[in-house]
Amino acid sequence: MTDKHTELDPRIALLLDGEISLADLPAELRPEAERLQRLLGKIDRSPVTLGPAVTSNVMAAVRRHAASPARRFWRWWAEPREVRVRLRPWFVGPALAAAAALVLLLGRPGDRVAPASTRDSTLVQFVFSAPSAHAVAIAGSFNDWNPARAPLTRASATVWTITLPLPPGEHQYAFVVDGRDWVADPSAPGIDDGLGRRNSIVSVAKPGARIL
């Protein structure tokens, strides 16, 4: 026996959908249409009512999914929130100084100039002779004794230099050679730091003063 698949005539489909009546079909299609109508009439189309247990189980599963850690994290991540940024007065100064540093450091490569921290600062040039040094920096009370903040530039085969903006007052400092040797400035007055080392002193009187 060979099974044959017969495609439903579109006009019969229109009848089953209620769009046309049986009288609208050609005579040769009516027997098949009547047979299909009888089959559909035997189908129980009464509403199906779910018991309370089914509803309860479905809602419990939904609540478990909504309370999962991954779901909570996703809601937290996707939820829009307001972000407020408040600039403190003591933060604005360093921020502007950092912007000025970028401009100055990208300027002349031969004379490194650190950014001014206040409007009353005076540019002070430091010069140090270290022919055999591979790197020289300056650390002092004006940069929290952090040599990484003020590396000097080699101006010649023997001379290193940097120009820093310093506020009025007396500042202690020392040169750091190759990251390990702290050396006082031989051209400046010195003071005992209390730890067996001597620091150099630079005094800034007013804007415009320059110490070589």
- The pLDDT assigned to 47 comes to 67
Are 172 and 140 in contact by the 8 Å Cβ rule? The answer is yes
Asked if the structure places residue 47 within a domain, the reply is no
Asked if the structure places residue 182 within a domain, the reply is yes
Asked if the structure places residue 142 within a domain, the reply is yes
Instruction: Give the torsion sign (CA, 143, 144, 145, 148).
Output: negative
Asked if the structure places residue 32 within a domain, the reply is yes
φ and ψ at 205, to 5 degrees?
-90, -45
- The pLDDT assigned to 42 comes to 76
Closest CA to 116 of 90, 96, 133: 96
Asked if the structure places residue 161 within a domain, the reply is yes
Domain coverage including residue 175:
109-204
- The pLDDT assigned to 205 comes to 85
- The pLDDT assigned to 6 comes to 60
Asked if the structure places residue 26 within a domain, the reply is yes
- The pLDDT assigned to 12 comes to 87
Cβ partners under 8 Å of residue 108, min gap 6: none
pTM of the model: 0.44
Looking up tokens 């020289």 gives 136
- The pLDDT assigned to 118 comes to 55
Output the tens digit of pLDDT for each of the chain's 212 residues. 444 556 788 898 888 888 898 889 899 989 988 988 888 887 766 666 666 666 666 676 666 665 566 666 666 666 665 545 454 544 445 554 444 444 344 444 444 545 545 567 899 999 999 999 999 999 999 999 999 999 999 999 999 999 999 999 999 999 999 999 999 999 999 998 888 889 999 999 876 545 45
Asked if the structure places residue 183 within a domain, the reply is yes
The amino acid that residue 54 corresponds to is V
26 and 113 together in one domain: no
Q: How many domains does the chain have?
A: 2
Asked if the structure places residue 151 within a domain, the reply is yes
33 and 117 together in one domain: no
The tokens describing 81, both together, are 């929130």
CATH of the domain at 147: 2.60.40.10
